[in-house]
Chains A and B, each alone.
Chain A
């Protein structure tokens, strides 16, 4: 898929957010299921969507209004097929007529609530005419029956039905009851026939009005999804992002809710990410356990959210629309099909290269060529960095190989353990060996920092030492480091 496949979407934390969205109606759910990414060239439309989200986000701050809207949306049932049937000339039954009446009353309710808000391109067409047809007595009740007011004949039949019913109740003779019930049966048949006539008339009167209702159904779906987006904006205090045509991404305090909730759930502090990316390759290096993968997922998630018409989860975000978005990591599905990690990465890369020549995309690569031998792996990763740098697409590579970055490419580092007082941290871990991983995570600085140098940090040794691996082994490592130096 050009914009991440299902598995990738779930992996970067997109599904986590979608599940958290408070969609309340079947139309909203349908709308979400059929959500399509905005394509390059549709920036104007995306801007209008942003405007809509802004309006709705404001509206969501009015708790009373929001609750009323939500109550209406929760009551909605899917009557689209009934409407389409009526349009095609089907005679509706009384339950269908009830559902249409109730839905139209809901629509009028929502229309009234929203009358002071102008949401661009969102208008509910009045359906008072439909309600008038389904509420001939103008009693305004959300119930329905084939009212006697529809036909004098029906009124007369029902009068007779009532009379015979009273006679049935007042008689004590079994034979008479049987006779009366026989008589009643003929009246019931008359009633059913006349009700059918009424329903036929009513359905044909409703038919031309059904187009309005079908349009409203689509609009209700949009309103539901917009409200969910608005609530999301309020939860994360999101601001309207900028749309740029310059092929650069700028963002501060980007977050990934799935990771954030997990980190905070285990009592640790979550670090948002600041980043600036332009066309060509950007390399992220950093310590093991330093959250390079999380950084990649967070950025990809937000690029994708933006493309799908959501506000990215960050402050001061501007980005363009891409022709494609992809994410290569070593736990791709192809591995299950028998390809090695490296083989799977290469197959995926082959696919991406086709897109690379066709348009501007966003590609995230997590530890590319990690699965092959480090000597070749480093060269392949470096070559890929150089190769991707020649394209209009934005490529973001996380690697722990040294020497992948060159002077032309942007380089980010996860701060990692750089600023930590190593000795004091080691003492802390020594004192509480069982929690070594948690302590290490607590002191690890997950922030991304733009850096001028080209070297990857060498935190692996530090981490080995901190985690309390046997000293003899550490000595061996140190000896080998010196040998190289």
Chain B
């Protein structure tokens, strides 16, 4: 299956990488190549990507090649690294470590360096601006573990990228990917509960719902597991968490399982979970369920059998194993 077929009908696509070097940029380039001349693209990233050299592993990374007329939202410093001739359309006032995010139109094709806003709400505003400058399809280069990871709205969808760089054992890669897909495809909380939550919450980090509702406003949900669990009492049936849901919190909940019979932990979306599959199973046995407020609309999985660390998997076996774990279309970005 071709990528452009996969994304047909959506106006915004987020590409989420499982890890660095899983071929996310290759996916992006493939999409750009496939829709060349047919669609005006708007391109941005959440945070930074597209460096000459990956900052962590110093491996070679292809830069993103865009076509003439593409609209881009990228930080000033990244823009000045790009080799397209460009028309500056707007400076957005959104600042990043690489300078203010600037919106430009490519007057020629060329390589670009993407470093977009790092907060989801800013991505949303940049997306709207790019659409107002004529972009038909917005592509957001996202990554797990960044503050904002993905753009979710009506008409938006996401593609997960996985690859050999995740682990040298192929089955380990497949298992990790399977677990991630399960998290990303977590079901949305039922409408009644969601409405109760939305009516009650006011931007708090933690909200408890049950016969008794409670809000907890803390600066960050990391390292405050104790507080979150202490505030839980047996009247609560749901905990809504705005931010990352980490293993230590779930472990603490399990230790305190006398406090509940059944508990649903609800995150903003599936990218916010940082828990391994064993813990998920253990939590399930202890009466803990996981749900999300927004489904991310995962529409496909891309795989890259080549690792930049010098090994590669058998492309067709790898693809075959991945197909076993999901109904989603699996696309090998290198081999097709």
> CB of B20 within 8 A of chain A?
no
Residues of A within 8 A of B85 (CB): 145-146, 158, 161, 191
Residues 90 to 106 of chain B near chain A (Cβ within 8 Å): 91, 93, 100, 102, 105
Cβ of B93: which chain A residues have Cβ within 8 Å of it? Answer: 77
User: How far is the CB of A141 from the nearest CB of chain B, in Å?
Assistant: 9
Name the prevailing secondary structure of the A interface residues.
helix
CB distance from A354 to the nearest CB of B (A): 46
Chain-A contact segment, one of B75-83, B162-170, B209-217, B275-283: B75-83
Instruction: Report the minimal beta-carbon distance from B90 to chain A, rounded to whole angstroms.
Output: 8
Does A35 reach chain B (CB closer than 8 Å)? no
> Is B107 positioned at the interface, with any CB of A under 8 Å from its CB?
yes
Is B87 in contact with chain A by the CB < 8 A criterion?
yes
In angstroms, Cα B79 to Cα A185, docked, is 17
The answer to whether B87 and A95 touch across the interface, beta carbons within 8 angstroms, is no
Q: With the chains together, A165 CA to B108 CA distance in Å?
A: 8
Does any Cβ of B come within 8 Å of A144's Cβ?
yes
- Is A95's CB under 8 angstroms from B91's CB? yes
Count, A-B residue pairs, CB within 8 A: 46
Q: Which residue of A lies closest to B110 (CB)?
A: A188
A86 to B154, CA, bound (A): 46
Residue-wise interface mask of B (47-84) relative to A, using a CB-CB cutoff of 8 A (1 in contact, 0 not): 00000000000000000000010000000100110010
A93 within 8 A of partner (CB) = yes
The number of residues on chain B lying at the interface, defined by a beta carbon within 8 Å of a beta carbon of chain A, is: 20
A contacts with B, residue count (CB < 8 A)? 20
Min CB gap A149→B, angstroms = 13
Give the residue of B83, B87, B100 whose beta carbon is less than 8 angstroms from that of A188: B83
Task: A94 to B104: give the CA distance in the assembly, Å.
Answer: 11
Known contacts A77-B91, A77-B93, A161-B85: A95-B102 contact under CB 8 Å? yes
- Among candidates A99, A162, A192, residue contacting B108 with C-beta atoms closer than 8 Å: A162
Q: A145-B107, A158-B108 are in contact. Are A98 and B91 (CB under 8 A)?
A: yes
Bound-state CA distance A143–B36 (Å) is: 25
A93 to B76, CA, bound (A): 10
- Assess the B108–A94 pair: CB atoms within 8 A: no
Question: When chains A and B are docked, how far (Å) is the Cα of A54 from the Cα of B100?
Answer: 39
In the complex, whether B334 has a CB less than 8 A from a CB of chain A is no
A145 / chain B contacts, CB cutoff of 8 Å: 85-88, 107
Kindly list 12 other residue pairs between chains A and B, CB separation below 8 angstroms, not including A146-B85, A161-B85.
A77-B91, A77-B93, A93-B76, A94-B80, A94-B86, A95-B91, A95-B100, A95-B102, A98-B88, A145-B87, A168-B109, A191-B83
18 contacts between A and B (CB under 8 A): A77-B91, A93-B76, A93-B80, A95-B76, A95-B79, A98-B88, A98-B91, A99-B91, A143-B87, A145-B87, A158-B85, A158-B108, A161-B85, A162-B108, A165-B68, A191-B83, A191-B85, A192-B83
Chain B contacts to A: CB under 8 angstroms: 36, 68, 76, 79-80, 83, 85-89, 91, 93, 100, 102, 105, 107-110
List A residues at the B interface (Cβ < 8 Å). 77, 93-95, 98-99, 143-146, 158, 161-162, 165, 168-169, 185, 188, 191-192
